Amino acid sequence: MRVDTMRQLDYWLGIPLTFISSIVVKIQDTWRNVQEQEAPELQRILFVELSEMGSTIIADPAMRRAQKNLNAELFFVIFAKNRPSLELLDTVPRENVFTLREDSLFTLLWDSLRYLAWCRKNQIDTVIDLELFSRVSALLTGLSGAWRRVGFHSFHNEGLWRGFMLTHKVAYNAHQHVAKNFIALIYSLETDEAEVPFAKTIITDDDIKLAQVSFDDATQDALRARIAPLCPNGSIEGKRLVLINPNASELLPQRRWAKERYAALMRALLAEFDDILILITGAPAEKEEAECLKAQCESDRVINFAGAVKFAELPVLYTISTLMVTNDSGPGHFSAITPLKTFVLFGPETPALYGSLGNSTPIWAGLACAPCVSAANHRKTPCSQPACMSAISVEQVFALVSAELKR
């Protein structure tokens, strides 16, 4: 389904369903109290994060903390198309991942019913809702049957109404990185104090350090061997790989820097450095668009690499490359689990909240209107002409990238 269709469903169906479900959840919790039932020991934690592939990387420090501090078995529910991002670090066992299809309303509803049975079969005792702006995730959390239900609550702040599904209400902090907000969710389960709101603690940068992946020489050489035939003289010897990711997800197309600016940047880099090869990356569906961008450079040192590697091979590509320039999108987060130097172009979103946790430099104009998307507006902006991206000049990006290449 299209993103706007999902938003409409979340509003028109989400509000009444959330209201009804809140009553059901309240009755369930009241009955448990009347019966003086004791909550089961915390053993199985289910994380709910559906729509953003990059968020699975940002959430990884929180999931690893839950494993270490709570000694819990981890489970995850995510949209089927986004599952590969969860498998880059494999923090959650693959057999513990449940996927929802979103290609139609019928399949989404059917998979949601299967999910309810799956939760009970796996005896999920705790659910952590990682979403900030989705009533779907609130419904999945509330109706899971879990005793402990953790998530962000608006309290007296602006934001989407998501019912009364939570036993542990955490204050979302719009002035701290989302990764630290995710850590706060875990902290609410660690403390014995019933704080209002959670979480009254300090979360440091060390708490959100990402795990890193590594690959042996044979794996790296195998990918270099696949790139070599696409290069001038059929060789990659003595060349440095520069990755250009010019696309962003359909969730927020305003994050895209203009293609002609990417072309101008690539031409400038090619003129300045004769030892670089530029690979234009992207999904298989973006191959034609990448070919048009390549044509604007008129150089055999620019390679259309869109769809050339499987998703699981991206970390290998990042490991053998020198740097990447990308819009604010998934690759900026996927590369964070490798040493790759990454330059991420931000516009309608702020790097203070969604900056990459890796070896990354954000480039952000910081206009008076930015950021224009947040948890309070369903990440939907009225802007159709993103001046925040136009304000980032080719010269500005070139200066940063060329300094890194010279270093």
Q: What are the structure tokens assigned to 311, written together?
A: 């998703």
Q: What angle do CA 360, 365, 367 make, to 5 degrees?
A: 140
CA-to-CA separations, 351 to 82, 315, 356, 367, 407, in angstroms, rounded: 22, 22, 8, 13, 24
Instruction: Tell me if domain 3-208 and domain 217-406 are identical in fold.
Output: yes
Residue-wise pLDDT tens for the chain (407 aa)? 777 787 788 888 889 999 999 999 999 999 999 888 988 999 999 999 998 899 999 999 999 999 999 999 999 999 999 999 999 999 999 999 999 998 898 999 999 999 999 999 999 999 999 998 789 999 999 999 999 999 999 888 877 789 999 999 999 999 999 999 999 999 999 999 889 999 999 999 999 999 999 999 999 999 999 999 999 989 999 999 999 999 877 777 888 999 999 999 999 999 999 999 999 999 999 999 999 999 999 999 999 999 999 999 999 999 999 999 999 999 999 999 999 999 999 999 999 999 999 999 999 999 999 999 887 777 788 888 899 999 999 999 999 999 999 98
The CATH class for the domain spanning 217-406 reads alpha beta
Q: What region does 90 belong to: left with phi over 0, alpha with psi -120 to 50, or beta?
A: left
Fold of 3-208: Rossmann fold (3.40.50)
The beta strands (E) that lie in 203-264 are given as: 240-245
- At residue 287, what is the residue type? K
> Residue 51 burial by CB count (10 A; 0-12/13-18/19+): exposed, middle or buried?
buried
Q: Who contacts 59 (Cβ-Cβ below 8 Å, separation ≥6)?
A: 47, 49, 130, 179, 182
**pLDDT at 314 (0 to 100):** 97
**Where along the chain do its domains lie?**
3-208, 217-406
If you ran DSSP here, which 8-state letter would residue 40 be given? P
Distance of alpha carbon 378 from alpha carbon 4, whole angstroms: 11
Distance of alpha carbon 125 from alpha carbon 365, whole angstroms: 45
Contact status, residue 342 vs residue 322, Cβ threshold 8 Å:
no
**pLDDT at 2 (0 to 100):** 75
